[in-house]
Structures are given as structure tokens and as C-alpha cells.
Amino acid sequence: MRARVIYNPTSGRELIKRNLVDILQTLEEAGYEASAFATTAEKDSAKNEARRAAATGFELIVAAGGDGTINQVVNGIAPLKQRPKMAIIPAGTTNDYARALKIPRDNVLKAAQVIKKKQTIFMDIGKANENYFINIGAGGYLTELTYEVPSQLKTVFGYLAYLAKGAEMLPRVKPIKMHLKYDEGEYTGEASMFFLGLTNSIGGFEQIAPNARLDDGKFSLIIVKTANLVEILHLIALMLNGGKHVNDNRVIYTQTSSLSAEPLDENVRMMINLDGEYGGDAPMEFANLKQHIEMFADVDRIPDEAVTGSTEEFIEASSAFVKEVESLTDEDIDGDGDISKSNQ
């Protein structure tokens, strides 16, 4: 089996670059013939390499870097009918996706070691028009914070940079008149933000979407109807106090497999945030692609309520698969290196 590491050489103060030899060695120990590709300043560098690697038969693609690198790799393979497995080695600012998958965020070599456990989850992926996202899709003035934090500040100060910029921006938040249609109904009116979450970890917090599951085919949808500064601060306090914001009448909170979003005033621009980056302007159609990509994770550390099946079932299935592969003999493999039909 072959694995391709697609890494951002500047992410996380060059952590991946400095530890690349050891990361490749870990993949070799996990049973993969491993190689690496350093992303460049060229547009869609990671996305294009992921698509090329998948097309040439790599069984595993490892996205090493921040959530932006992971997003690009997913965009490279998500449209394909035959998709390789994915793994991530986090080296960014908030590393929300790694947090949700219980992958170590403070040590890239420990993160790589997770692959050796051979535990995977079939993860939901979001689609927004023609783009894909792994963690959040959102619109409204509250979501524009991430565009205004310089990348240098993200690298040096991490999440503190977001908090500082957020405090600066809150007084400027104003509502947008929008129309939102989702599984259980529709909302027409003013809102400072709508938010779709695929995991329960957003921006370093695990209480924004407390009921999120990783593989149930549903987004967690939050609509914040108020733009009043005092009320937004109160909602943030409720969120930090055990996710109680979801029961507030200034918030709509539900689960949905799709969302149609558009501004009601054609003169008002509503930018869409996909995984912390600009993803186009509304109107936009969102769809949840259920269990679309098989992702390595530290499954036995993921709470049962975060997946549709129990984590024990995932572990048993992974272990059974590994034992089955290890038990194959030369007679079970045909001349093309595939499992013979009699043993499938």
C-alpha cells in the first residue's frame, strides 16, 4: 500500500517539515510505502496533488498542516467515485478537526502514530455549491472574523488572535435579512449569523454544537437572530456555560441534512465561510454527504454520543478487517494484486 503525505511546509512554525523523516518512517511501520509533497504558493496546490495522488492509486493521503490544508485535500478527493482513506497530522492554529477525531494536537509524531492503530470512521463531509468543507459552513457578519486575522498573527498568537479580533469586531456586527430553508422548516428575517457544523469543535470550543455527530448525515444548524452586542455577549456566556445557548429564544438550533441560504436584499453581500476561509457568496445550497470519506481517528477516545454506532463497534470492525487482511495468503491474491473473487 502507498501513502502520500501532503504537507504545508510553513504551518505550525514548520513543525511538519522538521519532523518529516520520522513521519514517513511511522507510515512505513504502519505498512505503507510513504512519500511526501510540500504545498506551494500556487492556487489549490494541496487540492490538485490530492486529486493526482488518488488518481494514481494511492491508498492513503495524509493531510499535514492546519484545517486549511485538510480542507484542500478533502476538496481534491471528495468529488471522486473511488476515494482513498485520509489521515491528518495537525500543525495549525485551532486544529478543530483533529480535536474532534481525538488526534494529538501538540505533537506531530504522536498524531502520526494514530495511523498505526488502524482505526477509522466514515466521516460526513459538507458540500456548498461546488465546494466541500469538513467542519463549518456559515454566513453573516459574525462569521467574517476569520478573514480579518492576519496569517502571521494566527501563527504567533494562535487562538488569542481570534479572540482579540473578535472583541474588536463585535461592535460592528449588524443583521442581514435572509431566507434559510432546512429540513424541519424555514426562517425568513434578520440574523447576524447562520452556522452549519459537522463536528462539535469549532474555533477551539466544544459547546457551540453540543449534539453534533460525526457520521449521521446531519449538520448542526444554528441561526443567531440578534445582532445586539449585549445579547450576543450573553449568548456567548451561555455557550461557555455548558452549551445553554441552544435553548435561547434568540437562537434556532436544529439538525438538518441540507440548507438553502440567500440574502433578501440584493444589494447586500452575504459572504460564506467554509472552514474559516472565504467560500463564495450566497445564494448557496448546502448538502451533507453522509459517511463520505474514511478517516483515521483515535476511535476508542471518541465519546459514544459523537457517532451513530458505538465506538466499540468501530474498534471491533477495524480489528476484524486488519485480522482478515493479515490472514490472506498468496493464493488469495490474483495476478493483479487484488483479492480473488472467491475470497471477497
Write the CATH number for 198.
2.60.200.40
- What is the model's pLDDT at position 337? 40
Per-residue model confidence as pLDDT tens digits over 152-203:
545 444 444 444 555 566 666 788 999 999 999 999 999 988 999 998 766 5
- What is the model's pLDDT at position 327? 56
- What is the model's pLDDT at position 308? 81
Mean pLDDT of 91-107: 86
Mean pLDDT of 96-100: 88
Per-residue model confidence as pLDDT tens digits over 103-132:
999 899 999 999 999 999 999 999 999 999
Q: What percent of the chain has pLDDT over 70?
A: 78
Q: Are residues 206 and 81 in the same domain?
A: no
Q: Are residues 185 and 261 in the same domain?
A: yes
Q: Are residues 67 and 121 in the same domain?
A: yes
Q: Are residues 309 and 258 in the same domain?
A: no
Q: Are residues 297 and 261 in the same domain?
A: no
Higher pLDDT: 84 or 171? It is 84
Domain that holds residue 176: 132-290
3-state SS string for 192-227: CEEEEECCCCECCECCCCCCCCCCCCCEEEEEECCC
Residue ending a domain, choose from 272, 290, 308: 290
Q: Are residues 121 and 137 in the same domain?
A: no
Active site residue 184: no
- What is the model's pLDDT at position 172? 65
How far is residue 56's CA from residue 336's CA, in Å, rounded to a whole number? 15
What are the CA-CA distances from residue 182 to residues 43, 187, 280 (Å)? 33, 8, 20
Closest CA to 33 of 56, 71, 66, 4: 4
Higher pLDDT: 279 or 144? It is 279
Mean pLDDT of 86-99: 86
- What is the model's pLDDT at position 103? 96
Higher pLDDT: 329 or 337? It is 329
Q: Are residues 218 and 313 in the same domain?
A: no
Q: Are residues 261 and 158 in the same domain?
A: yes
Closest CA to 146 of 250, 244, 40, 66: 66
C-beta of residue 30 within 8 angstroms of C-beta of residue 116: yes
Tell me, what DSSP letter sits at residue 340?
P
User: Of these residues, 59, 144, 262, 277, which one is catalytic?
Assistant: 277
- What is the model's pLDDT at position 330? 52
Per the structure, how many domains does the chain have? 2
Instruction: Collect all residues with Cβ–Cβ distance below 8 Å to 110 and sequence separation of at least 6.
Output: 104
- What is the model's pLDDT at position 258? 98
Q: Are residues 62 and 136 in the same domain?
A: no
Q: Please count the residues of the chain.
A: 344
- What is the model's pLDDT at position 36? 98
Residue 194 has phi, psi (to 5 degrees) of -120, 150
* pLDDT of 55 over the 90 cut: yes
Q: Are residues 168 and 223 in the same domain?
A: yes
Per-residue model confidence as pLDDT tens digits over 239-296:
777 778 888 899 999 999 999 999 999 899 999 989 878 899 999 999 999 999 999 9
Q: Are residues 189 and 148 in the same domain?
A: yes
Instruction: Collect all residues with Cβ–Cβ distance below 8 Å to 342 and sequence separation of at least 6.
Output: none
Look over the chain and give the mean of its residue pLDDT values, rounded to a whole number: 83
Q: What percent of the chain has pLDDT over 90?
A: 57
Per-residue model confidence as pLDDT tens digits over 286-306:
999 999 999 999 999 998 888
How far is residue 40's CA from residue 9's CA, in Å, rounded to a whole number? 8
User: Which domain CATH number covers 320?
Assistant: 3.40.50.10330
How far is residue 133's CA from residue 261's CA, in Å, rounded to a whole number? 16
